[in-house]
Structure 1
Amino acid sequence: MRLVVAQCQVDYAGRLTAHLPMATRVLMIKADGSVLVHSDGGSYKPLNWMSPPCTLREGTTDDGQVEWVVTSTASGKGPADTLRILLAEVLHDSSHELGVDPGLQKDGVEKHLQELLADHPTTLAEGLTLVRREFPTAIGPVDLMCRDGNGLSIAVEIKRRGEIDGVEQLTRYLDLLNRDAILTTKGPVRGIFAAQAIKPQARVLAEDRGITCAVVDYDALRGLDDPTERLF
C-alpha cells in the first residue's frame, strides 16, 4: 500500500462530476489497484475513490504541476470514469507491504445469517445451490458462492444493513471473479446483495451494476416466525 499526504485538488468525471478544491488530504493506493482520497474526518469513508480495475498514470500538466490520472477499465457501457488529482505539494510519500490479509472474522448476527443462508440458499433465489462458504479470492473471501439452475456462478455478499460500501465490496469481488475462466464457463458470475435491510441508495447502485438485491427475514430463517402460530 502507498500512502501520500499532499495538498491536492481532485476532479472526478464519469456517471456524474465531482470537484474537491485544493486542501491537504491522504491519498491511498492499494495493492488491488484501488485509489482512495481521504480527509481528516468522515470516519472510514473516502471523499472520492476509484475501484479496480483501473490504471494510475503519474505525470505533469502543461505548467509543470504533478498530476495523477486514474482511469477505470471501460466496461463497454460507456466512457471510462476518470479521477484527476493535481498535487501542489507532497508532504509525505511512503509504501508498505501489508502481506495477505486473513479476512474479516465475522461474528453475531451477520455470521449467523451466512450460516442460515448457506443452509437455505433458495431463500435468495429459486433453484440456487451452495458451492462453498467463504469462497477465497485474492482480495478476501466471498460470503457464499452458489450456482443457479442454469449452472451459472452466483456470488453472495451478506450484511446486516445493506449500504453502498457493501455494494462496492461485492463489485470488487465480481470484477475479480469474472476473470476466472473456470467460473465463467457458462456465463459471467452474477451477484446477490443480501441484507436484513437495504438502503435506497445502495439498491439503486446495485441494480445499476446488475446486482440483485435480496432482503432477508432473519427471524423467519431462524424458524421463529412460524405462520401457523400467528393470530392474524
Structure 2
Amino acid sequence: MRLVVARCSVDYTGRLTAHLPLAPRLLIIKADGSVLVHSDGGSYKPLNWMSPPCTLSTSRRGDEEAAGDPEGEWIEQWDVIHDKSGDRLRVRLHEIFEDSSHELGIDPGLQKDGVEAHLQALLAENIDTLGEGWSLVRREYFTAIGPVDILARDENGGSVAIEIKRRGEIDGVEQLTRYLELLNRDPLLAPVRGIFAAQAIKPQARVLATDRGIDCVTLDYDALRGIDDAESRLF
C-alpha cells in the first residue's frame, strides 16, 4: 500500500464528470489496484476513487511541454484508467508532503460479532431453512478479497454463496457481487449463484440484487433461534 499526502487536484471522467480543486489530501494506492482520494473530513468515505481492475500510469511535469493546468504547475500526474469501462481518474500532485509504502500482507478478514455473527451461525445450523435438501459446505469460505459468510449446496448440488447482514443495503449487494465474480472463476464451484440475506432489506438493495440475479431472503432471528414459530402467528 502506498500512502501519499499531497496538495493535489483530481478529475474524474467517464459515466460522470467530477472535479476536486487544489487542496491537501490523502491518496491511497492499494495492492489490489484501488486508488482512493481522502480528505480530513467526510467520515470514512473517499472523495473519489477508482476500483480495480484498472491501470495506473505516472508522469512528471518535465515529461510534457506544458501542463495546461489553470490551478498552476504540477510535479507529478497519475492517470488511472478502468480496464473495462475506460473511466479515467486523473490526479495532479502540486506539492508532496509525505510519501510512504507498506507491505500489509493478506488480511485475515473481519471477525464478526453481534447479531450478524449470530445470524450466520444460526443459518449455518439450519441451512435447510433455505430449502429441503440444502447442505452446508462451510462458514467463512475464504476468497482473495475476504470470506464469504456461507457457502452451501442447494437441492440440485449447485453452489450458493450467501452474504448475511443485519440490515441489507446496496453496499452488501456490491460485496456479494465481488465474491460471486471470484467464486465463478473456480471450475470446481462454478456456476455459483448468490443469496443476500438480512433481517431487513432496503428496496434499493433488493432491486439491485434482482437485477444482478441475486436472490433476497429475509431472516427471522427469533425463528432461527427456535423461540418463535412463524407458522403459528396470525401476523
Aligned match for 1:129, one of 125, 131, 135? 135
C-alpha distance in 2 between matches for 1:54 and 1:125: 40
CA contact (8 A) 1:68 1:86 kept: yes
C-alpha distance in 2 between matches for 1:214 and 1:229: 20
Q: 1:129 to 1:2 in 2, by over 3 A?
A: same
User: Residue 124 of structure 1: CA displacement?
Assistant: 4.7
Q: 1:228 to 1:213 in 2, by over 3 A?
A: closer
Aligned match for 2:226, one of 212, 217, 223? 223
Q: Which residue number corresponds to residue 7 of structure 2?
A: 7
Aligned length, in residue pairs? 225
Q: Which residue number corresponds to residue 72 of structure 1?
A: 82
User: Residue 3 of structure 1: CA displacement?
Assistant: 0.8
TM-score (norm 2): 0.79
Partner amino acid, structure 2, of 1:55: T
**Is 1:111 aligned to 2:121, yes or no?**
no
- In structure 1, the gaps of 5 or more residues are none
C-alpha distance in 2 between matches for 1:214 and 1:231: 21
CA contact (8 A) 1:7 1:24 kept: yes
RMSD: 2.8
Q: 1:159 to 1:23 in 2, by over 3 A?
A: same
**Is 1:98 aligned to 2:108, yes or no?**
no
- In structure 2, the gaps of 5 or more residues are 68-73
User: Residue 194 of structure 1: CA displacement?
Assistant: 1.9
Partner amino acid, structure 2, of 1:182: L
Q: Which residue number corresponds to residue 86 of structure 1?
A: 92
Q: Which residue number corresponds to residue 193 of structure 1?
A: 196
Partner amino acid, structure 2, of 1:107: D
User: Residue 219 of structure 1: CA displacement?
Assistant: 2.0
CA contact (8 A) 2:131 2:155 kept: no
User: Residue 160 of structure 1: CA displacement?
Assistant: 1.2
Partner amino acid, structure 1, of 2:124: A
Q: Which residue number corresponds to residue 29 of structure 1?
A: 29
Q: Which residue number corresponds to residue 53 of structure 1?
A: 53
Partner amino acid, structure 1, of 2:8: C
Corresponding residue SS for 1:118: helix
C-alpha distance in 2 between matches for 1:224 and 1:169: 31
Deviates more, 1:56-65 or 1:41-50: 56-65
Q: 1:231 to 1:177 in 2, by over 3 A?
A: closer
User: Residue 228 of structure 1: CA displacement?
Assistant: 5.7
Deviates more, 1:29-38 or 1:110-119: 29-38
Q: Which residue number corresponds to residue 71 of structure 2?
A: none
User: Residue 26 of structure 1: CA displacement?
Assistant: 1.1
Partner amino acid, structure 2, of 1:86: R
Deviates more, 1:124-133 or 1:39-48: 124-133
Corresponding residue SS for 2:33: coil
TM-score (norm 1): 0.80
Corresponding residue SS for 2:217: strand
